[in-house]
Amino acid sequence: MYMYDDFDAAFVRGRVAEFRDQVARRLDGTLSEAEFLPIRLKNGLYLQLHAYMLRIAVPYGTLDSRKMRQLAYIADRWDKGYGHFTTRTNIQFNWPKLKDVPDILDALADVDMHAIQTSGNCIRNVTADHFAGAAADEIEDPRPTAELLRQWSTDHPEFAWLGRKFKIAVIASEHDRAVLKSHDIGVRIVRGVADEPGYEIFVGGGLGRTPMVAKQIRSFLPKAHLLPYLESILQVYNLQGRRDNKYKARIKILVHETGIDRFRELVETRFQEKLPQFNGVNQKILRRIEGSFVPPAFEAAQPMPPVLGAGLQSWIDTNVAAHRLDHYGIVTVSLKGIGETPGDASSDQMRLLADLAEEYAHDELRVSHEQNIVLPHVPRRHLPAIYDRLKAAGLATANIGLISDIIACPGMDYCALATARSIPVAQQIAERFHELGLEHEIGPMKIKISGCINACGHHHVGHIGILGLDRAGVENYQITLGGDGTETTVIGERAGPGFSYDEIVPAIERIVSAYLDVRTDPEETFIECFRRVGMTPFKEALYPPEEARSNAA
Amino acid sequence: MTTIVTGNGISGDDWADRDVFAFDCFWNGQELPEEPLAVAFPNDREAADLVPWLDRIGLIVVDFPAFSDGRGFSVARRLRELGYRGRLRASGPLVSDQLRAALKVGFDEVAVAPSVAARQPASHWKVGAQESYQDRIAV
């Protein structure tokens, strides 16, 4: 894990002091509300429906027990005893008081954390594969590159006032677990023809009201060229991106309107000019960073105790993924307990996760973009003990990748932008299918729910996407089908007219029944089935002809 | 009178009684004096257009229509990359919290809008000694 050096520590403290001063200047009126707004956003502080919300950065989703315990402490000391893990692998606290925020930031700095650039029109927290360092299929750990980008983008003087937010993700395997192609820039670590290390670069992805899949701008970029190349992309975007309309201001619109070929020319020209300005210091820094991401001291293989009980077996089958070592597993702890708020964890649960990481799992934790917590390095012999302790804390739900493992934005329960509720829809879907006992029968299924057009719940890339809108004061939920957020990214297709709050869960049930009817066999997953048969059977299930409807009634 | 802020504090505008010419003054056919000129730079223009005339320019004034419109930061970086070594001024409703970034991208000074200067005393326009990640990592 990356440890702050003196510079990082001083920098973060400096920013806390600066924010403390900015709050004071807002309170004495020398900063206007309009001026304070982007400043507080760049420090992670939002104003929500009922209160401020503080979004804390978890760079590339990596935590250790010390950091997790401090988050639990913050939840208890300054909030209501819980936090919400987000799709950008951050954590949000929903009830802080403005006057306490500088103290919270100081408490974060105590454990090498901060809330810098978790919001605002700047380069946001950099995300990575949540299985980084543990997955068998990765070329190298993507986190050193992500950390280099974190440092480069932090307080970047040229790119602190962009037209819109800017998100970067880094992966290092063929299989994409980080929704790479929905990012403004996606960086994939690859090897060149002579096995030399480099990056494949994607640009112009994004969800929101105009979802776009990122396009490849460079098939191979030598490792040392990453920062000048990214600076070139950002400079073209900052100068030429639209500023006349907030909804057209993301780089995806610029890339789309310019055309990827012309956009690439602009970037490559700029890059040739910029390259000589970079003297290679960043590569020395990268090597130093790599030194702090060495793999843990893995233990030798030891016998696994017998698995007694169907609950444990089911949890292992569903929540434990293959590790690059056979006698290790990657444990995903579900924050999607049936009927719970997706992504929420209480301070007690956070402390338990910290304890488990420290006692059994080389003191590492990850936040996944699917709003779960990952223990990336777990010797399989400890799985029974971990399961028992999770179970006692209500954290042993065996549903990773299943229909109740739902991504949901906070929606109208918290968010000032929301047009509909998301959380109760997620809760009711999970409860309904749990009640039917169908989760495992249905198999792999990604449902993603957004409570407004901004698409924080990634609904466009859900196998089933749900978008909550407001139609003349009434919640209306639109369904998209066939979305995919992996290396084969596809934006889901709209099924047809929306459904009311009371109709949405039965509608999802009809889609699932149609799938169970038309799949060739239980091996054919929902998304495979959709790709084979297309929209028609699902449309028929969703919108039966009048006659069938009245017969059914 | 316009307030000018540099890394060393606040001063008046020593260019106040001289003209600031339009961005396209070199090719719009107008008569130009021989001495170094001040040129206005709207933030949606292309910096490379000025390259043939950079040695005739003594001051470039980059317009910030709003403090949150950050195009001017890239304009400054670009002008420096293209070899402009004269004075570079950011002009508009910037706030003191942006001074550090302005100096880093190549501006020499900020012409503070009167509306902001009235609220933000000189003591706010300071740049801390803190090193930035950019100093450490990039150029």
Structural domain spans, chain A: 6-109, 142-291, 310-392, 407-552
> Does B128 fall in a domain?
no
pLDDT for res B121 = 83
- Among A530, A538, A545, residue whose Cα is nearest residue A510: A538
Asked whether this chain's domains A310-392 and A407-552 adopt the same fold, the reply is no
- Among B72, B100, B77, B74, residue whose Cα is nearest residue A155: B100
When pLDDT is averaged across residues B119-124 and rounded to a whole number, the result is: 84
Closest chain B residue to the Cα of A238, Cα to Cα? B71
Per residue in B20-54, pLDDT (tens digit) is 999 999 999 999 998 899 999 999 999 999 999 99
On the question of pLDDT at A549 being above 70, the answer is: no
pLDDT for res A509 = 97
- Regarding the domain delimited by A6-109, which CATH topology (the fold level of the hierarchy) does it fall under? Alpha-Beta Plaits (3.30.70)
H or E stretch at A229: helix A226-240
How far apart (Å, rounded) are the C-alpha atoms in residues B16 and B68? 26
Per residue in A391-417, pLDDT (tens digit) is 999 999 999 999 999 999 999 999 999
On the question of pLDDT at A500 being above 80, the answer is: yes
Q: Does domain A310-392 have CATH number 3.30.70.3340?
A: yes
Confidence tier at A547 by pLDDT (50, 70, 90): low
How far apart (Å, rounded) are the C-alpha atoms in residues A45 and A52? 7
> Does B42 fall in a domain?
yes
Give residue B112's domain range: 3-25+34-123
pLDDT for res B8 = 87
On the question of pLDDT at B130 being above 80, the answer is: no
How far apart (Å, rounded) are the C-alpha atoms in residues A368 and A130? 5
> Does B93 fall in a domain?
yes
pLDDT for res A553 = 47
Least Cα separation, residue A451 to chain B (angstroms): 28
pLDDT for res A305 = 87
- CB-closest option in B81, B95, B104 to A157: B104
Could you tell me the CA-to-CA distances from B58 to A183, A451, B9, B34 in Å, in that order?
42, 54, 21, 11
Least Cα separation, residue A454 to chain B (angstroms): 21
- Among A127, A131, A134, residue whose Cα is nearest residue A296: A134
Contact B16, B4 (CB under 8 A): no
3-class DSSP assignment, residue A394: coil
How far apart (Å, rounded) are the C-alpha atoms in residues B74 and A162? 10
What is the count of structural domains for chain B? Answer: 1
CB within 8 Å: A238 and B74: yes
On the question of pLDDT at B7 being above 90, the answer is: no
In chain A, what percentage of residues exceed pLDDT 90? 93
On the question of pLDDT at B139 being above 60, the answer is: no
Q: Is the dihedral of CA A155, A157, A161, A167 positive or negative?
A: negative
> Does B139 fall in a domain?
no
pLDDT for res B12 = 87
When pLDDT is averaged across residues A363-386 and rounded to a whole number, the result is: 97
Cα A399–A533–A550 angle (5° rounding)?
85
pLDDT for res A381 = 97
On the question of pLDDT at A127 being above 90, the answer is: yes
- Regarding the domain delimited by A407-552, which CATH topology (the fold level of the hierarchy) does it fall under? Sulfite Reductase Hemoprotein; domain 1 (3.30.413)
- Among A181, A183, A180, residue whose Cα is nearest residue A171: A180
How far apart (Å, rounded) are the C-alpha atoms in residues A402 and A440? 7
Could you tell me the CA-to-CA distances from B113 to A55, A374, B90 in Å, in that order?
33, 51, 10
Contact A462, A480 (CB under 8 A): yes
When pLDDT is averaged across residues A356-383 and rounded to a whole number, the result is: 98
Indicate the DSSP class of residue A173: B
- Regarding the domain delimited by A142-291, which CATH topology (the fold level of the hierarchy) does it fall under? Sulfite Reductase Hemoprotein; domain 1 (3.30.413)
> Does B54 fall in a domain?
yes
CB within 8 Å: B139 and A277: yes
pLDDT for res A211 = 96
CB within 8 Å: A11 and B133: yes
A·B CB contacts under 8 A: 103
How far apart (Å, rounded) are the C-alpha atoms in residues A482 and A462? 7
In chain A, what percentage of residues exceed pLDDT 70? 99
On the question of pLDDT at A548 being above 80, the answer is: no
For chain A, the residues whose C-beta falls within 8 A of a C-beta of chain B are 7, 10-11, 14, 18, 22, 25, 29-32, 35, 38-39, 121, 148, 151-152, 154-163, 227, 231, 235, 238-239, 243, 273-274, 277-279, 281-282, 285
CB within 8 Å: A10 and B130: yes
Residue the block writes with tokens 């504090």: B9
Closest chain B residue to the Cα of A282, Cα to Cα? B137
Residue the block writes with tokens 């429906």: A49
Per residue in A197-252, pLDDT (tens digit) is 999 999 999 999 999 999 999 999 999 999 999 999 999 999 999 999 999 999 99
CB within 8 Å: B68 and A38: yes
- What average pLDDT does chain A have? 95
Indicate the DSSP class of residue B96: G
When pLDDT is averaged across residues A301-321 and rounded to a whole number, the result is: 92
CATH number at residue B105: 3.20.20.70
Per residue in A99-112, pLDDT (tens digit) is 899 999 999 999 99
Could you tell me the CA-to-CA distances from A469 to A412, A500, A540 in Å, in that order?
11, 10, 23
Cα A326–A331–A333 angle (5° rounding)?
170
On the question of pLDDT at B11 being above 90, the answer is: no
How far apart (Å, rounded) are the C-alpha atoms in residues A481 and A461? 9
Dihedral angle of Cα B95, B96, B99, B102, to the nearest 10 degrees: 0
- Burial label for A414, CB within 10 Å (0-12, 13-18, 19+), is buried
pLDDT for res B138 = 62
* Chain A residues inside the 8 Å CB shell of B104: 157-158
Q: How many residues does chain A have?
A: 553
DSSP string computed for A176-213: -SS-GGGSSEEEEEEE-TTS-EEEEEEE--B-TTS-B-
The two three-digit tokens of residue A136, written as one number: 């068998």
Per residue in A161-175, pLDDT (tens digit) is 999 999 999 999 999
On the question of pLDDT at A257 being above 50, the answer is: yes
Q: Which of A29-43, A140-154, A448-462, B47-61 has the lowest mean pLDDT?
A: A29-43
ipTM above 0.85 for this complex = yes
Radius of gyration of chain A (CA): 23
